Amino acid sequence: MATVNLSDALLVKNYIAGDEKALAILIERHQSKIYGFIYSKIADRAITDDVFQDTFIKVIKTLKSNSYNEEGKFLPWVMRIAHNLVVDHFRRNKKMPMHRETEEYSIFSYMTDNSMNVEGRMITDQVEDDLRRLLDELPADQKEVLVMRMYQDMSFKEIAESTGVSINTALGRMRYALMNLRKVIEKNQIILTN
Amino acid sequence: MAKLYTSKKLATPKMLPKKETIRFLIDYSKALSIVKIGNMTFETIAN
């Protein structure tokens, strides 16, 4: 292939004129130097690939928009773009450091899952179920106050209003409800913890 | 024997970008066209 031996300047000229093959030759010719240069600064294959790609996207855009005016100095120009992108990368990373998962460093040792496991969930369900059955043992007026306070999150004022008794009576019923619950729990030796 | 004082280079000559990266760049170049009208620049990517 005759085009392979053309100088960079001529290939750039051909590429601008619409010869897409010229770009492939230019990349082929300089990829090792440019890639090696980026890798020597970044030392990460994946990021090096990203920067290499960004470098050539910039090259393509500049050439296609006819803004390139450094004929004869193609490689130094591309190297300068790569260098600037490497600097950009480090600047960005300084603001937001990125950590890659390695053998010594695991993201899961920093992140914890606070939700309960299956066993914990089952125990909680059982405890709540037991408590509901205990509530059924209470006298209706006490149960009513306790359900309104604990499950419906109503204030004693609201409970008093909706049951048609005074606040003190509502408070008293709540007190008796809790005392009776404790008594039943103690009597049956029920464990309500998880 | 002569002692080598140079440290091992981080980049080896064999190191090359991924084939997909090169493919992407060539395809991107084929798809991209830039048109300048006045002081405005339009970039079009043919799908």
CA angle (B1, B5, B8) in 5-degree steps: 110
Query: Higher pLDDT residue, A47 or A114?
Result: A47
Flag whether residue B21 sits within 8 Å of chain A, measured between CB atoms: yes
CA angle (A178, A182, A185) in 5-degree steps: 135
Q: Which residues of A touch B28 (CB under 8 A)?
A: 57, 60
Return the pLDDT at A98: 65
Q: What is the mean pLDDT of residues B24-42?
A: 90
Q: Which of B7, B8, B19, B21 to mutate to test the interface with A (most CBs of A within 10 A)?
A: B21
Tell me the nearest-neighbour CA distance from B5 into chain A, angstroms.
19
Please name the residues in contact with A61: beta carbons below 8 A apart, sequence gap of 6 or more: B32, B34, B43
Nearest residue of B to residue A36 by CA position?
B11
Query: Higher pLDDT residue, A173 or A123?
Result: A173
Residues from A contacting B (CB-CB < 8 Å) are 20, 23-24, 27, 31-32, 35-37, 39-40, 43, 48-49, 52-53, 56-57, 60-61, 64-66
* pTM for the model: 0.55
Return the pLDDT at A25: 94
Return the pLDDT at A190: 76
Instruction: Report the range of poorest mean pLDDT among A41-45, A64-68, A88-92, B9-13.
Output: B9-13
Return the pLDDT at A2: 59
pLDDT tens, A19-44?
Answer: 999 999 999 999 999 999 999 888 88
Q: By three-state DSSP, how is residue B17 classified? A: coil
ipTM score over 0.85, yes or no: no
Nearest residue of B to residue A48 by CA position?
B17
Percent pLDDT > 70 in chain A is 93
Q: What is the DSSP string of A66-79?
A: T----TT-HHHHHH
pLDDT confidence tier of residue A171, bands split at 50, 70 and 90: very high
Average pLDDT, chain B: 80
Q: Which residues of A touch B44 (CB under 8 A)?
A: none
Query: Looking at the partner chain, which of A20, A49, A65 has a beta carbon nearest the beta carbon of B21?
Result: A49
Res A165 pLDDT > 60? yes
B31-43 as b/e, with b when 16 or more CB fall inside 10 Å? ebebeeeeeeeee
Query: Higher pLDDT residue, A79 or A117?
Result: A79
Q: What are the distances in angstroms from CA A104 to CA A45, A90, A155?
A: 19, 23, 53
**Residue pair A14/A81 in contact by the 8 Å Cβ criterion:** no
Q: What is the mean pLDDT of residues A112-124?
A: 82
pLDDT confidence tier of residue B3, bands split at 50, 70 and 90: low
Query: Higher pLDDT residue, A118 or A84?
Result: A84
Nearest residue of B to residue A41 by CA position?
B10
Segment holding B44, helix H or strand E: strand B40-45
Return the pLDDT at A54: 96
Query: Higher pLDDT residue, B47 or A181?
Result: A181
Cross-chain residue pair A61–B43, CB shorter than 8 Å: yes
Instruction: Report the range of poorest mean pLDDT among A21-25, A91-95, A101-105, A177-181.
Output: A101-105
Q: Which residues of B touch A65 (CB under 8 A)?
A: 34, 36, 41
pLDDT confidence tier of residue A122, bands split at 50, 70 and 90: confident
